[in-house]
Structure 1
Amino acid sequence: MNVIQTLKTTNSDERIIRSKRHITSEESDFIALARILMISGLVFHHVFTLTGSGFYPRGGIDVNSAHVADYLNGIVHWMSMAAVPCLSVISGYLFFKRDRVNYSELLHRRITTVLLPSIAWTSFWFFVAYFAYLWGEGKGVLEWIDYDFEKIGLGLYVEGVIGISRMPFAYQFWFVHDLVLTFALCPVIGWVMTRFPWVLPIALIPIWLLDINIFPFFSPNVLFFFTVGVFAATTRFDLTWLLGYLKPLHWVLALVFIVLILGRIFQDYHRVLGSYLYLCVLRGVGLLSFIAVVGSVTLSDNRSLRLLRYLSPFSFFIFAFHYPTLEFIREVIRQVPGYDTEFGLLVSFFILPLSCISISIAAALGLRWLSPLLFTFVNGGRAGKESEQKSTHANGLAVAR
């Protein structure tokens, strides 16, 4: 049977791939912790330049003018580069790590729990930004809202909500954009992986390393790392196997990752440190070190881990809510005297992302109290209850159900 026949079949046995193992309790707890940690990392990552600082973390740092907060911001920014690879691997793993991979059922579920909630969020933020732009235009404020709103129309709305030739206004949804496209390819990915498990990951490696643009994807990262997750789910090299090998090395991998991050921060000292291939190495090592470090505390119990497990079901809401909320909070920080001093920048480094996460959670709890059904919809099909972690397969996506 060829690929075309696989795609045309809708409810036959060929549409269902059988898997050997369930998600274990260790894997489930790892995924719950990884989800909230990576989403929180993205919030810190999207701070970019601190309010009152001239340091942009994607560039090299100037030791003569940098603040202490700039160093912290740079380290956390590059550390969070492991977020997209980790979330993509988990998404691919969860899609295929089940007794039966029924594409019709799973793709329908992704439409209702990923695509439609994402369109609702991006539409909401598009219109919030547009009206904020109209309000701020005459007052000379909110100048960061720059999405060609003077050309408002259907075309701009489609770009701002879905993203075709440019990222959506709420730019974190570029990840969901690429993930939804990858979901659509899952019948092909599954057909290839169940017959030639090594072929697709190997074929995608040069595309990833060379950063080859594959339209309509924004980046090759999601497709590549999703496929890595599928490989783990459909072979004996699953997450349990990987955790067994990596956990004893978590301190070594973490140290290597920190060294690579420091190299990237001081990229102006050598062109290799600023190269895309160096970034690929940083992402790969970051993914392995994160798996090792989080795996080392999986199934452990302390107050911090209990808090992370409680917050994990809110991950999609935090992901969807954090931008442009970060920028509105930044506007408030600018009104505080001393925000651009050494101490003010250090406080801002913590206050800006942490207050954004706190406001996101407060908004989530409030919406859940006011309208549980609406909350469940915009939270990616999750009711925001810790008990949902016990049924990991109900959550087929790293950030949504």
Structure 2
Amino acid sequence: MAILQSALLSGRPVAQAEASRSLPASLPTTIEVARVVLVIGLVFLHYFSFPNSRVSPFTGFDPDQHSFATFVNSFILLFFFSAVPLLSTISGWLFFGLTDHPLQTIARRMRGRIVSLLLPLITWSLATIATGFVLHAIAPTTGLLGEFRFDFDEPSLFGLLDGIFGLTGLPTAFQFWFVRDLFLSVLVSPLLWLILRHAPLAGVAVLGASWVCDFTFGIFIRTDVLFFFFLGGFARMRQVPLNISWSTTKVLLVSYALLMAARALAPLWLDPTTPPHEDMLDLATRLARPLGVVACWGLCLRLATTQLGGFFARYGGFAFFLHASHFPIIIFVKYLLWSLVPAETDTWMLAHYAASVAVTVSVAALGAAVIFRLSPSLYAFLAGGRRFV
């Protein structure tokens, strides 16, 4: 508990407060860089479709209308499918950096994650639902309400719990499915630790198979977080080397980028919305994610040695806040800016795409700076126990 209190007062995350003493000097910087870069990638991902597009970027590009703009959107979305797996791997690696008393350490970290994961999840989700109620009161017929996945006309206690915790699907603040599943992974961490100690390869095989088959064990939204959290623990407990050379990283990045480009172009050859093709493409995209994890980690290792990486690392404490706050900000920014687009051309669509993300990040950063200035402790609570800078 003393470590948790110290972490909150200093703004450092619990995992960092407990593990940083044992990390190689370069790894904390790389981890902070990864958090910022990957969360910005998630903001791009959560732009979703262009307002004038009838095709979801999840299925690929639109070969009939605005093919270049929709290809870029789909490619970036597919590329950053590696974000949640890599963030989960980092979380597992930090969590399973255990001491001479592993069960006591696990129990302490589980309690710490109540403050750094569960309570922010509840708080931000309630704030998102409250925003939806305000929008419903002001403009009850607006199509933006559909983005909230909540029945504002007939709210109920179960609907509220479902909106917060994602009991039947994605939560209302949909980005918190990752935090939800990460917290559940932490809850089962004693079992994961036993598997890591006594049958690690069997654990990789079983959890890997469940991930490939999209088997959720009845409690997870997806098993991406659980599987890669376990892999992070495997890497930590088995002391897997984390360094990747820049030459190897470039090969991995190009390979991963080509695979995601091919996936985005899939509608040229088949209908990605029909069940056989949809399942095949989903499996292929899923199997490519480990490659994306390693490639993106290698890129972050490289960035950590640059001035840009130093800038990102300085604001590593903003990553959780940005992840928590970018929805619903991005939907309001997206449709507000769309009204300013002078022509629905590929160039203006991509300008709108970039501007929407840039404005969303800027608004979140401004909000973070104001909250941190007014109350560093409130910011630490909202940001999972971290400082703004």
User: Using the alignment, how far apart are the partners of 1:155 and 1:273 within structure 2?
Assistant: 32
Are positions 1:196 and 2:199 aligned together? yes
Are positions 1:40 and 2:40 aligned together? yes
Q: Which residue of 1 aligns with 2:344?
A: 340
Q: Is the 8 A contact 1:133 1:142 kept in 2?
A: no
Q: Which residue of 2 aligns with 1:70?
A: 70
User: Using the alignment, how far apart are the partners of 1:375 and 1:49 within structure 2?
Assistant: 32
Q: Is the 8 A contact 1:89 1:229 kept in 2?
A: yes
1:35-184 matches, cutoff 5 A: 35-100=35-100, 101=102, 102-137=105-140, 140=142, 142-145=144-147, 146-184=149-187
In structure 2, do the counterparts of structure 1 residues 113 and 249 end up closer, same or farther at CA, with 3 Å as the change threshold? Answer: same
1:294-333 matches, cutoff 5 A: 294-298=300-304, 300-302=305-307, 304-333=308-337
**Per-residue deviation, 1:295:** 1.9
Q: Which residue of 1 aligns with 2:6?
A: none
Q: Which residue of 2 aligns with 1:358?
A: 362
Q: Is the 8 A contact 1:23 1:97 kept in 2?
A: no
Gap regions ≥5 residues in structure 2: 1-18, 271-276
User: Using the alignment, how far apart are the partners of 2:338 and 2:302 within structure 1?
Assistant: 40
Q: Is the 8 A contact 2:135 2:145 kept in 1?
A: no
Which one of the candidate residues 285, 292, 296 is aligned to 2:298? 292
**Per-residue deviation, 1:53:** 2.9
User: Using the alignment, how far apart are the partners of 1:162 and 1:41 within structure 2?
Assistant: 24
In structure 2, do the counterparts of structure 1 residues 190 and 356 end up closer, same or farther at CA, with 3 Å as the change threshold? Answer: same
The total of aligned residue pairs comes to: 360
Q: For 1:206, what is the secondary structure of its paired residue?
A: helix
Which one of the candidate residues 368, 384, 387 is aligned to 1:383? 387
Q: Which residue of 2 aligns with 1:186?
A: 189
In structure 2, do the counterparts of structure 1 residues 168 and 343 end up closer, same or farther at CA, with 3 Å as the change threshold? Answer: same
In structure 2, do the counterparts of structure 1 residues 111 and 272 end up closer, same or farther at CA, with 3 Å as the change threshold? Answer: closer
Please tell me the residue identity of whatever aligns with 1:290: C
User: Using the alignment, how far apart are the partners of 1:285 and 1:141 within structure 2?
Assistant: 38
User: Using the alignment, how far apart are the partners of 1:134 and 1:167 within structure 2?
Assistant: 24
User: Using the alignment, how far apart are the partners of 2:279 and 2:254 within structure 1?
Assistant: 17
Q: Which residue of 2 aligns with 1:23?
A: 23
Q: For 1:381, what is the secondary structure of its paired residue?
A: coil
Q: Is the 8 A contact 1:267 1:274 kept in 2?
A: no
Q: Is the 8 A contact 2:61 2:265 kept in 1?
A: yes
Q: Which residue of 2 aligns with 1:4?
A: none
User: Using the alignment, how far apart are the partners of 1:133 and 1:78 within structure 2?
Assistant: 32
Q: For 2:378, what is the secondary structure of its paired residue?
A: helix
Are positions 1:276 and 2:282 aligned together? yes
TM-score by length of 1: 0.85
Gap regions ≥5 residues in structure 1: 1-18, 386-401
User: Using the alignment, how far apart are the partners of 1:272 and 1:325 within structure 2?
Assistant: 31
**Per-residue deviation, 1:206:** 1.2
Q: Is the 8 A contact 1:122 1:170 kept in 2?
A: yes
TM-score by length of 2: 0.87
**Per-residue deviation, 1:375:** 1.0
Q: For 2:381, what is the secondary structure of its paired residue?
A: helix
Q: Which residue of 2 aligns with 1:258?
A: 257
Please tell me the residue identity of whatever aligns with 2:361: I
User: Using the alignment, how far apart are the partners of 1:79 and 1:57 within structure 2?
Assistant: 12
Are positions 1:214 and 2:213 aligned together? no
User: Using the alignment, how far apart are the partners of 1:242 and 1:337 within structure 2?
Assistant: 45
Are positions 1:249 and 2:248 aligned together? yes
**Per-residue deviation, 1:342:** 3.0
Q: Is the 8 A contact 1:212 1:220 kept in 2?
A: yes
**Per-residue deviation, 1:154:** 1.1
| Bigger shift: residues 90-99 or 221-230 | 90-99
Which deviations, in whole Å up to 9, do the C-alpha atoms of 1:240-278 show, x marking residues without a partner? x1324x543111111111110111112231549952220
User: Using the alignment, how far apart are the partners of 1:281 and 1:157 within structure 2?
Assistant: 35
Please tell me the residue identity of whatever aligns with 1:142: L
**Per-residue deviation, 1:337:** 4.5
| Bigger shift: residues 276-285 or 348-357 | 276-285
Q: Is the 8 A contact 2:71 2:265 kept in 1?
A: no
Q: CA RMSD in A?
A: 2.1
Please tell me the residue identity of whatever aligns with 2:137: L
In structure 2, do the counterparts of structure 1 residues 213 and 196 end up closer, same or farther at CA, with 3 Å as the change threshold? Answer: closer
Q: Which residue of 1 aligns with 2:273?
A: none
Which deviations, in whole Å up to 9, do the C-alpha atoms of 1:27-69 show, x marking residues without a partner? 2121111110111100000111023333321113233322432
Which deviations, in whole Å up to 9, do the C-alpha atoms of 1:204-244 show, x marking residues without a partner? 1211111123211000111111000000010031xxx1324
